[in-house]
Amino acid sequence: MNIFSLLYFGFILLAGVQAHGKEHFTWYKKSLAIYACNYEISYLKGISFCPAKGNKRERKKCRCANENWRASLAGCLAYKERNTTSTIEFYKSFCQNNYNVDLDKDWFDKSYTHFLNNAKNKYEIKPSREPVNFPVKFSPKEMDLYGKVAINFLGNYDDSIWYGISMFGFWFLVLTIGAISHWTKVLFPETTKKLVGSISNSYRKYISIPALYGKRRAQEIRCWKVFDSLIPTRFESIVIGLFYLFTVIIHAVNLKAVENDPIFDTKYMAEIRYVADRTGIVGTAMTPLVFLFAGRNNFLQWITGINFSTFLCYHRHIARVMVMLVVIHSVNYTILLVYRETFPFKVKNPWLYWGILATVAGGLALFQSILYLRRSHYELFLFLHLALAVLFVAGTWIHIVDFGYCVLLYPCIAVWCFDRIIRLIRLFSFGFPQANVMLVGDETIKLEIPKPKYWKPVPGGHVFVHFLKPSYFWQSHPFTFVKSSEKEGIIVIYLKLKGGITQNLYKLLKKSPGKMATMRVGIEGPYGESTPAKYSDKAVFIAGGNGIPGIYSEVVDISLRSPSERKSQLKLIWVIRDYNSIIWFYDELLWLKNTDIKTTLFVTRPNNRVTNFGSFNKSESSQEGSIKSGYNEINPQPYKGQNYIEEFKAELSHINFEERRPNFEQLIHDEIEESPGSVAFVACGHPAMVDEVRYQSCRNIDNPYNKRVDFYEQLQVWA
């Protein structure tokens, strides 16, 4: 599909090969006593067991090869009976794997006997440069201290994994709440309708439905362009707020060091290290969440009924937290390295510079994804974002592979691959059909795509479209589709003219004869699902401008269900700027005649010049019994304006026309008043309009008629 798929699979292959023979993940707590005692022996001042020569590894080998070291260790382990069988076995394999020293099976018993017979108390030994030839015995107080230090330091590694996992717990809880509120509507529609008590109403009025503050949700908050941003709903904001709080808490507890920490010199330095480890591990452990929530094929969307744009909103915040943790991790390690004066040398190690690279990639990904850049250069944003994400994962991988922490990355890579593979399957299973592309208005392009038989359209769903032209085949854009009202097996997409790929298509069509062309397209989908509005006694579908396709297909889908299946009265409201819009959607509007959907069209600027009608060959269409949308450039007719409008209105007598902007405050109030029971409002269109409908629906949740009011947003905004 694109170079990224190749990159992923290349990377996975690499990772798979690398994973072989590398250190396996182990829990420190299983053999904490070994570490505690070995630290204690290593930090003896003026007492050593082996000559200080050779490289670091050679010197470290002493802890396995030297019998006095082993005996000191055995004596230390015997304190409080920490010499469990697994500990003893662990040390045997530890010596084998790290220093190639083959210990006897009964190394402990032998060493312990040696210890009992020959050990000297630490305080009786004179400091010397020469190695001693007897084991050393420690006081219980010191052994307790080192036990504690090991728990603080190494226990933190193990705990951090659990704190990382607790992040999943947090999101599990949040998504469960979302899933419950979605599924109760679907599974128990009758019960849900009766839920108009003060608790349920207050919850929906103050928490689940409103924008965070005022009306803005689909509409961005403006702030000097670069700080433009989308504000989550109130429920989402609460979730995100709690998430930040939760993150702070799990990085604040269980991180105390002892005074004068023997490993890190000071309590401060020790705590710097603990925080560095905690943030590093939690940050890595949460990567699957970041990648899962950003994927189109996120199975949680199917389970919870929460839409992609909400998941993307969570994705952004989780990613911010993750990168912040990674930055803290890096800063703290820098402090530690500088403190130990090894900084300039260690940077040469791959694990270190890949770690630095990953941190930088993560930071850049945050900055390049601001709304302003997503809006102005979406394709560039996406390309850089994916490239940085690959760099982040690859860098992290190399950074942690030698520490045995790669298991933390497996789920992240797994969800990413899963998404990519499903995307490829969806794309290829649709086949790459030839689609008819035509200009059907000043600002609208119509796409007719033949679909495979088994491919089931989802009412209100969308697909991602690739236009297979050399200069932009790699782009995929989301568009809502409708089933063609005239032809079987065709889905139709209406594209509104914007500045990028749609502009390219427009230029291409302008040059083509008849303002139409055929083109191979790749279709990935269907994604999304219809809202639970169909379970209400009355469903009011409100569309603005080019937001109509999804709204239309959902309302028509409900109207076509058998009477036993559907209970709602249906209403469709379409707000358009001028009569031009009718032309490209004429067939669908005409088709509504066959249904009992009450339709109202609001034309907000009725006096706008109607530019399409002049070239509209009405006689041709009339022969087929319906007016067909499409240009006829060869025989342009003179502009007749009002006449045409009247003719159209006559043919669309089942539709009620209003020449003004709707007053949603009044409209929503009236719809609730007239409804036989519960009411659901579904909106898609101009963000300001959708926000207005949300606001007014929310205000009316407490209504004098005690009818349940719901609001569903079909508009998804992520750029």
Ligand X SMILES: Cc1cc2nc3c(=O)[nH]c(=O)nc-3n(C[C@H](O)[C@H](O)[C@H](O)COP(=O)(O)OP(=O)(O)OC[C@H]3O[C@@H](n4cnc5c(N)ncnc54)[C@H](O)[C@@H]3O)c2cc1C
Compute the C-alpha angle 29/30/34, nearest 5°.
Answer: 85
Neighbouring residues of 687: CB distance < 8 A, sequence distance ≥ 6: 218, 219, 220, 715, 717
Least Å distance between CB 214 and ligand NAP? 13
C-alpha to C-alpha distance for 456 and 452, rounded to whole angstroms: 9
269-307 burial by CB neighbour count: b if 16+ within 10 A, else e? Answer: bbbbbbbbbbbbbbbbbbbbbbbbbbbbbbebbeebbbb
Q: How far is CA 599 from CA 175, 184, 415, 602, 664, in A?
A: 36, 29, 44, 10, 16
Q: Does 301 bind ligand X (CB under 6 A)?
A: no
Q: Which is nearer to ligand X, 491 or 709 (CB)?
A: 491
Per-residue contact flags (x/-) with ligand X for residues 447 to 486, judged by CB under 6 A? ---------------x--------------xxxx------
Q: How far is the CB of 597 from ligand X (least distance, A)?
A: 20
Task: Give the footprint of ligand NAG on this chain (CB under 6 A).
Answer: 78, 81, 83-85, 108, 617, 619-620, 632, 635, 637
Q: Which does 78 bind (CB under 5 to 8 A by kind): ligand NAG, ligand NAP, ligand X, none?
A: ligand NAG
Cβ closer to ligand NAP: 135 or 687? 687
Strands 490-496 and 444-450: antiparallel
577 binds, among ligand X, ligand NAP, ligand NAG, none (CB under 5 to 8 A by kind): ligand NAP
Which strand (E) or helix (H) includes residue 448?
Answer: strand 444-450
Q: Please give the structure tokens belonging to residue 470.
A: 């050399």
Q: What is the Cβ-side half-sphere exposure of residue 533, based on CA atoms within 13 angstroms?
A: 30
- Helix (H), strand (E) at residue 271: helix 267-285
The listed partner (ligand NAP, ligand X, ligand NAG, none) that binds 637, CB under 5 to 8 Å by sort, is ligand NAG
Q: From the list ligand NAG, ligand NAP, ligand X, none, which binds 719 (C-beta under 5 to 8 Å, kind-based)?
A: ligand X
What is the spatial distance between Cα 49 and Cα 34, in angstroms, rounded to a whole number?
17
The answer to whether residue 547 forms part of the interface with ligand NAP (CB under 6 A) is yes
Q: Which does residue 375 bind out of ligand NAP, ligand NAG, ligand X, none, counting CB within 5 to 8 angstroms by kind? A: ligand X
CB of 277 to ligand X, least distance (A): 38
- Considering only 222, 340, 375, 487, the residue that binds ligand X (CB under 6 A) is 375
Q: Is 501 in the site for ligand X (CB under 6 A)?
A: yes
User: Angle between the 350-368 and 378-400 helix axes, to the nearest 10 degrees?
Assistant: 160
Rounded to an integer, what distance in angstroms lies between the CA atom of residue 575 and that of residue 587?
17
Q: Decide whether 117 or 133 has the Cβ nearer to ligand NAG.
A: 117
Q: How far is the CB of 314 from ligand NAP (least distance, A)?
A: 18
| 284 vs 412: CA distance, rounded Å | 9
Closest to ligand NAP by CB, 256 or 498: 498
Give me the residue label for tokens 């409103």.
210
* Binding partner of residue 662 among ligand X, ligand NAG, ligand NAP, none, CB cut-off 5 to 8 Å per kind: ligand NAP
Q: Provide the CB-side half-sphere exposure for 206 (13 A, CA).
A: 6
Pick one of ligand NAP, ligand NAG, ligand X, none as the site partner of residue 81 (Cβ within 5 to 8 A by kind). ligand NAG
Residue 127 binding ligand X, by CB under 6 A: no
Smallest distance from ligand NAG to CB 33, Å: 11
* Residues engaged in binding ligand X (CB under 6 A): 374-375, 378, 462, 477-480, 494-496, 498-503, 546, 549, 716, 719
